[in-house]
Amino acid sequence: MKIGVVTFPGSLDDTDAQRAVRLAGGEAVAIWHGDHDLQGVDAVILPGGFSYGDYLRCGAIASFAPVMTEVISAAQGGMPVLGICNGFQILCESHLLPGALIRNNHRTFICRDQTLRVDNASTAWTTDLSEGQEIVIPLKNGEGGFIADESTLERLEGEGQVVFRYVGGNPNGSLRDIAGITNERGNVVGLMPHPEHAVEDLTGSGTDGLALFTSGLSALASR
């Protein structure tokens, strides 16, 4: 199965995401932000970083990149799409996911290993996890506070669209401790922590993040 990883100007974690795909058993395909071609991939990852220097709002300019026309269309057609950190911001700015990400409430950049609780294990990117399971994933962001109006928050909660929640303290002021969400269909997931940095014991806090990538491949295999 081919999973495309989009590189924007300012992407930092695109090669890490590609490596995670390969470790999970998939074929990673590099996709350039200026292209109108997804190169026949079966799923897409929008990686972390500072796309276009985070000018305007984080992810705002990237949401208008040529490749996003194709990503949005593919996601609306059911293709699995995963947005990590800056990728989560891009998904919100593209309206593939509701809400927005704003500056951390303590106004400082944070980098630490973060415990998450899995609240939805039925998305295209979480089937190899269990509901209620706690995992440890690195977190690094300056604008990771998830916000939405009250009606949107109630809908996310009521429809089971909260995928991950912070445990052991809220690191950035995200409403209701939300660390990741999904769309109604369950094929688009965005989260602020970085699962691609938790795929090998040698170079991270463990391998809990690998399950997101194996889940994505399992979802493709079952289609």
Residues carrying an active site annotation: 85, 194, 196
| Cα gap 47→6, rounded to integer Å | 7
What 8-state DSSP symbol labels residue 156?
H
Parallel, antiparallel or unpaired: strands 43-46 and 81-84: parallel
Q: Which amino acid is at 106?
A: H
CA dihedral 32, 33, 38, 42 (to 10 degrees): 90
Which of 21, 14, 10, 24 minimizes the C-alpha distance to 46? 14
Q: Which two tokens stand for residue 41?
A: 């991939």
Q: How many beta carbons lie within 10 A of that of residue 59, not counting itself?
A: 28
Q: Interior CA angle at 196 toward 211 and 179, to 5°?
A: 75
Tokens (6 digits) for 34: 């200026």
Structure tokens at 60: 């705002």
